[in-house]
């Protein structure tokens, strides 16, 4: 067959690589007991209140879902104190990222984000034939809004930047941007009609830093602010796919015109309403996470393994070894973590917080693997 005619952007696209599934690892390595700390999922599972609501809704699945998300938007508006006219929903926040790029960028336009930012921004932009500018990081893998400012003011491509993506906190580094820096940036760019400033707050519930604040609080003052949240992490609904978009009504209007009318299925909507009302589940999830992170920090310190302090539900650390070998040795022991080579890191890995016993198993496996494989 002759080679298909394709745009070079599509021909060279490297898709987002999700964490290795448990069943695949069981099959490939012939082992039963596998733990997965590779996709920043909620280790507490699905909230019992969500399960109850889903069971009730199961007999109604011959109906199309509500394309206006009436009940779900009520629940979000109440919980986050944002008017419904400023809200919409996506099939995971990944769909929202994809749609924002399709709606607000034309081929040849640019998105601006940071080096080592969550990779979906660049993948979705490339798929839409949109350019990617990555600003350099500050020391400690911190997002550097001054570097972004410099690009927006001085780089010749800045004129075509339609969307700025600020993951706060970021994945895979777990670092965050303090509110004072966000405010300074918004004073300069927060009301510029030429572009939107998108804050991706997938991990906001887990943040412990005192000087962090959600950008939802800046939406009244700055019209360019867009906030994306997900119910895949602390709310425990990764399998059902629910992301929330908060922005000015005009942005929401365009988003609703372009999205598929049934982009979020009925069970997902039902589950999301129940999850948003289950404060106790969030409290337990956040508590488990804080304890798990502290445990990881103390064990990694004992092993003299450098790590980046995280505001999310995972920690990135430097194996100081060839990461593919470390990964293979971990998989043989039934432990799935995440190498982050696709972010341009060479020896680093990311480990999600699990249940206490899963965390202990992962640390034990790392100790064995580090003893087995020499530093490179
Ligand atoms: C920073 C960030 N944003 C967005 C997402 C996408 O989440 P989802 O599509 O499950 O809502 C992730 C997932 O890992 C993430 O780390």
Q: What is the pLDDT along the chain (376 residues), one digit of tens a residue?
A: 677 888 889 989 988 878 889 999 999 999 999 999 999 999 999 999 999 999 999 999 999 999 999 999 999 999 999 999 999 999 999 999 999 999 999 999 999 999 999 999 999 999 999 999 999 999 999 999 999 999 999 999 999 999 999 999 999 999 999 999 999 999 999 999 999 999 999 999 999 999 999 999 999 999 999 999 999 999 999 999 999 999 999 999 999 999 999 999 999 999 999 999 999 999 999 999 999 999 999 999 999 999 999 999 999 999 999 999 999 999 999 999 999 998 999 999 999 999 999 999 999 999 999 999 988 8
The pLDDT, as a whole number, for residue 1 is 65
Pocket test for ligand 1, best of 202, 207, 234, 275 (most atoms within 8 A of CB): 202
- Cβ-in-10-Å burial (0-12, 13-18, 19+) of 173 comes to buried
Residues 6+ apart with CB under 8 A from 56: 270
Indicate which atom in ligand 1 lies nearest the CA of residue 203. 1
pTM above threshold 0.75: yes
Q: Could you give the CA distance from residue 375 to residue 187 in angstroms, rounded to a whole number?
A: 46
User: Measured in angstroms, how far is the CA atom of residue 118 from the centroid of ligand 1?
Assistant: 8
- Cβ-in-10-Å burial (0-12, 13-18, 19+) of 61 comes to exposed
Strands 307-308 and 314-318, by their bridges, are antiparallel
Residues 6+ apart with CB under 8 A from 238: 39, 41, 42, 232
Query: In the chain, what is the straight-line distance between the N-terminal and C-terminal CA atoms, in Å?
Result: 44
For residues 228 and 177, the answer to whether their CB atoms sit within 8 Å is no
User: Measured in angstroms, how far is the CA atom of residue 98 from the centroid of ligand 1?
Assistant: 12
Ligand 1 contact via 242 beta carbon (within 6 Å): no
- Cβ-in-10-Å burial (0-12, 13-18, 19+) of 198 comes to buried
For residues 83 and 77, the answer to whether their CB atoms sit within 8 Å is yes
Residues 6+ apart with CB under 8 A from 203: 40, 169, 171, 174, 233, 234, 311, 312, 313
Ligand 1 contact via 92 beta carbon (within 6 Å): yes
Pocket test for ligand 1, best of 232, 268, 312 (most atoms within 8 A of CB): 232
User: Measured in angstroms, how far is the CA atom of residue 95 from the centroid of ligand 1?
Assistant: 10
User: Measured in angstroms, how far is the CA atom of residue 120 from the centroid of ligand 1?
Assistant: 8
Report the sign of the C-alpha dihedral through residues 177, 183, 186, 191, in that order: positive
Ligand 1 contact via 230 beta carbon (within 6 Å): yes
Q: Could you give the CA distance from residue 226 to residue 90 in angstroms, rounded to a whole number?
A: 14
User: Measured in angstroms, how far is the CA atom of residue 1 from the centroid of ligand 1?
Assistant: 38
Distance of CA 358 to the CA centre of its chain: 22
Whether CATH 3.40.50.800 fits 8-45+280-372: no
Q: E strands of 31-179, at which residues?
A: 35-36, 87-90, 110-114, 131-135, 161-167
User: Measured in angstroms, how far is the CA atom of residue 31 from the centroid of ligand 1?
Assistant: 29
User: Measured in angstroms, how far is the CA atom of residue 375 from the centroid of ligand 1?
Assistant: 32
User: Measured in angstroms, how far is the CA atom of residue 144 from the centroid of ligand 1?
Assistant: 21
Between the alpha carbon of residue 74 and those of residues 79, 117, 237, 269, the distances in Å are: 9, 32, 18, 12
CA nearest neighbour of 171 among 283, 297, 294, 311:
311
Indicate which atom in ligand 1 lies nearest the CA of residue 242. 11
The pLDDT, as a whole number, for residue 18 is 82
Would you kindly state where each structural domain of the chain is located, as residue ranges?
Answer: 8-45+280-372, 48-278
Per DSSP, 35 falls in state E
Burial track 15-38 (b if 16+ CB lie within 10 A, e otherwise)? eeeebbeeeebeeeeeeeebbbbb
User: Measured in angstroms, how far is the CA atom of residue 202 from the centroid of ligand 1?
Assistant: 6
Cis peptide before 169 (omega within 30 of 0): yes
Q: Which residues pair with 202 in a beta bridge?
A: none
Q: Whose CA is nearest to atom 7 of ligand 1?
A: 93
Ligand 1 contact via 232 beta carbon (within 6 Å): yes
For residues 347 and 323, the answer to whether their CB atoms sit within 8 Å is yes
**Region 48-278: CATH code:** 3.40.640.10
Q: Could you give the CA distance from residue 83 to residue 248 in angstroms, rounded to a whole number?
A: 10
Q: Which two tokens stand for residue 2?
A: 């002759």
Q: Which two tokens stand for residue 99?
A: 């749609």
User: How many other C-beta atoms can be found within 10 angstroms of the C-beta atom of residue 232?
Assistant: 22
Q: Which residue, chain included where needed, has tokens 């979705």?
A: 124
Ligand 1 contact via 167 beta carbon (within 6 Å): yes
User: How many other C-beta atoms can be found within 10 angstroms of the C-beta atom of residue 328?
Assistant: 14
Q: Whose CA is nearest to atom 2 of ligand 1?
A: 202
Ligand 1 contact via 243 beta carbon (within 6 Å): yes
User: How many other C-beta atoms can be found within 10 angstroms of the C-beta atom of residue 375?
Assistant: 9
The pLDDT, as a whole number, for residue 20 is 87
Q: Could you give the CA distance from residue 5 to residue 301 in angstroms, rounded to a whole number?
A: 52
């Amino acid at each position: 067959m002759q080679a298909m005619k394709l745009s070079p952007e599509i021909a060279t696209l490297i898709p987002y690589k999700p964490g290795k599934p448990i069943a695949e690892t069981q099959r490939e390595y012939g082992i039963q007991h596998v733990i997965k700390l590779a996709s920043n999922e909620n280790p507490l599972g699905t909230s019992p209140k969500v399960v109850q609501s889903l069971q009730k809704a199961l007999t109604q699945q011959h109906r199309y879902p509500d394309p206006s998300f009436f009940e779900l938007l009520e629940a979000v508006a109440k919980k986050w104190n944002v008017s419904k006219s400023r809200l919409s929903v996506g099939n995971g926040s990944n769909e929202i990222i994809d749609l924002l790029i399709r709606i607000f960028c034309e081929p040849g336009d640019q998105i601006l984000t940071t080096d080592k930012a969550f990779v979906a921004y660049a993948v979705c932009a490339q798929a839409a034939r949109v350019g990617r500018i990555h600003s350099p990081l500050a020391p400690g893998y911190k997002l550097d809004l001054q570097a972004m400012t410099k690009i927006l003011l001085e780089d010749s491509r800045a004129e075509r930047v339609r969307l700025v993506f600020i993951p706060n906190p970021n994945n895979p580094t777990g670092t965050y941007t303090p509110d004072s820096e966000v405010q300074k940036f918004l004073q300069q760019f927060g009301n510029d009609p030429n572009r939107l400033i998108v804050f991706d707050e997938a991990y906001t519930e887990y943040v412990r830093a005192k000087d962090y604040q959600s950008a939802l609080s800046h939406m009244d003052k700055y019209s360019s602010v867009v906030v994306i949240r997900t119910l895949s992490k602390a709310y425990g609904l990764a399998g059902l796919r629910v992301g929330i978009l908060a922005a000015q009504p005009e942005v929401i209007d365009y988003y609703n015109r372009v999205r598929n009318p049934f982009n979020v299925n009925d069970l997902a909507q039902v589950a999301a309403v129940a999850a948003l009302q289950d404060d106790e589940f969030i409290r337990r999830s956040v508590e488990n996470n804080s304890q798990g992170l502290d445990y990881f920090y103390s064990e990694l310190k004992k092993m003299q393994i450098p790590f980046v302090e995280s505001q999310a539900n995972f920690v990135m650390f430097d194996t100081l070894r060839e990461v593919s070998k470390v990964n293979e040795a971990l998989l043989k022991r039934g432990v799935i973590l995440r190498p982050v080579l696709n972010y341009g890191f060479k020896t680093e890995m990311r480990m999600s917080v699990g249940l206490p016993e899963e965390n202990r198993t992962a640390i034990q496996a790392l100790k064995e693997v580090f003893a087995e494989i020499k530093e490179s």
